Amino acid sequence: MIYEIKNISFHYSSNKRLIFKNVSLSLKKGQILSILGPNGAGKTTLLSCMKNIISPVSGEIFLCGKDIRKMNVKEIASLVGYVPQSHTPAFGYSVFDFVLMGRAPKIMMYHKPKVEDEEAAWKALEMLGITHLAEKAYTEISGGEMQQAMIARSIVCHPKTLLFDEPTAHLDYGNQLNVLRLIKKLSNEGYAIVITTHNPDHAMLLGGLAAILDKEGNLSVDHVDVIINEKLLKNVYNADLKLIKVPELSRTACVPSDL
């Protein structure tokens, strides 16, 4: 078991309203969990708790069998790879150096990356097929390439699990599918993966588990085919969405019925 989350709740210290309450879920090696929910429901906050950047006000999180509160930041960082929403850094670091920063959990403070770290970064670039970008400035590549570089950075320490915060936001349609394909491939390699997304169809394409975080802060988790139904989608998004079996694709797709 990679993640074992028991009854966690969270609110910010400035506002006592619970962002989510009594959330429980567990995640095994190779499993994908897609978290769906309306804007502002607290999906990113939940990921931050799973990364121990913030701590839940109650409940427990176990990462690889250990209580996350008793682990140090480096230990957590080397087990959990994090792919943030796209961003623009102030400086145009080369893609290679950007990926190399992912080795930080393995490097002691006051030390610098060694040749073995550089080789690991290069391998991550090779795995994603972006070695041609190594020397390019991170600020000057396309959104899809940035997402690839961020994924390369998250796997450079060989973590057990990867957290993606809306990996398909800001990408064109083709690149959205590329990223989903990559996520599927990574889960086949054994990574336990959590993604947040706004698109129910993405969860259905990925398969595995899905979770819905509603405005009240309740999270329900189950297999994606079980949990996603038209009534629930209507509730969460306040829109008419239809689940349609597509025989040509032998899968169910989620499409809006009308405008």
Question: Which residues here bind other proteins, judged by CB under 8 A?
Answer: 48, 51, 53, 73-78, 80, 82, 84, 87, 89-94, 96-97, 101-102, 104-105, 107, 109-110, 112-113, 118-119, 122, 134-135, 137, 139
Give least dist CB 69 to other proteins, A: 15
**Nearer residue to other proteins within complex by CB, 91 or 173:** 91
Torsion sign across C-alpha atoms 220, 222, 223, 225: negative
Neighbouring residues of 91: CB distance < 8 A, sequence distance ≥ 6:
139
Give least dist CB 91 to other proteins, A: 4
**Nearer residue to other proteins within complex by CB, 80 or 221:** 80
Give least dist CB 172 to other proteins, A: 22
**Nearer residue to other proteins within complex by CB, 78 or 252:** 78
Task: Enumerate the β-bridge partners of residue 36.
Answer: 197, 212
> Is residue 241 within 8 Å of residue 254, measured between CB atoms?
yes
Neighbouring residues of 94: CB distance < 8 A, sequence distance ≥ 6:
134, 135, 136, 137, 138
Give least dist CB 112 to other proteins, A: 5
Give least dist CB 76 to other proteins, A: 7
Angle, helices 143-155 vs 115-127, to 10°: value is: 130
**Nearer residue to other proteins within complex by CB, 109 or 259:** 109
Neighbouring residues of 216: CB distance < 8 A, sequence distance ≥ 6:
none
**Nearer residue to other proteins within complex by CB, 115 or 249:** 115
